[in-house]
Amino acid sequence: MKTVKIIIVFALFFPFICYSQNLDNLPKEKRDSILIAKAKEIVLIWGPAYYREYKSPIIKREVTNLNYPGGGRIFYIVTFLYDKTKETLDEDFAAEVRIWADTGIVGGITFGNGAMILPGRNTRCKNSIEKVPYQVKEKRDTIDSKYKMHYK
């Protein structure tokens, strides 16, 4: 009976342990590999035409406004670059993914055509996702307004 209680408690709290891992507490190599893998997965779901393996992604650590009560919140930005000799996008990157350091949840995705996705908590739901279409800079005026700010 005692082992059953332990198993039940573990089963109830294991998802919270897995998903609430603070990325800042991980060794740099492990953290970076997790960030890149998560960012790649999200870009391939929401805007696969913007995924590039042109160069290694750039990872930056930033802090939100420090004037918030309790100080700022830390997030990572994973930036996928593109070859500017072969294509021209509105942004200096093909895709950029923001991931909260304290939860590992994706906070936002910006694509090279200027489209921004704020997916909320459920970034892995592949059902009913309308993918961001690939558009180079010359076609910027044809971007449908629904892709400029998309909330899920």
DSSP codes, the chain: -HHHHHHHHHHHHHHHHHHT--GGGS-HHHHHHHHHHHHHHHHHHH-GGG---SSPPEEEEEE--TTSTT---EEEEEEE---TTT---SSSSSEEEEEETTT--EEEEEETTS-EEE-TT--S--TT--PPPP--GGGGGG--GGGTSEE-
The predicted model scores a pTM of 0.72
Give the tens place of pLDDT for each residue, 93-115.
999 999 999 999 999 999 999 89
Q: Kindly state whether residue 3 falls inside one of the protein's structural domains.
A: no
Q: Kindly state whether residue 9 falls inside one of the protein's structural domains.
A: no
Q: Kindly state whether residue 145 falls inside one of the protein's structural domains.
A: yes
Banded pLDDT at 147 (limits 50, 70, 90): low
Q: Kindly state whether residue 142 falls inside one of the protein's structural domains.
A: yes
Q: Kindly state whether residue 2 falls inside one of the protein's structural domains.
A: no
Task: Express as a percent the part of the chain with pLDDT over 90.
Answer: 53
Q: What is the pLDDT of residue 99?
A: 96
Q: Kindly state whether residue 15 falls inside one of the protein's structural domains.
A: no
CA angle at residue 152 from 42 to 112, to 5 degrees?
50
Q: What is the pLDDT of residue 17?
A: 44
Range of the domain at 108: 21-151
Q: Is the pLDDT of residue 28 over 80?
A: yes
Give dist(CA 52, CA 34) in Å, integer: 17
Give the tens place of pLDDT for each residue, 44-70.
999 999 999 999 999 999 998 777 666
Q: Is the pLDDT of residue 31 over 90?
A: yes
Q: State the chain's mean pLDDT as an integer.
A: 78
**Considering its fold, how many domains does the chain have in total?**
1
Q: What is the pLDDT of residue 1?
A: 52
Q: Kindly state whether residue 40 falls inside one of the protein's structural domains.
A: yes
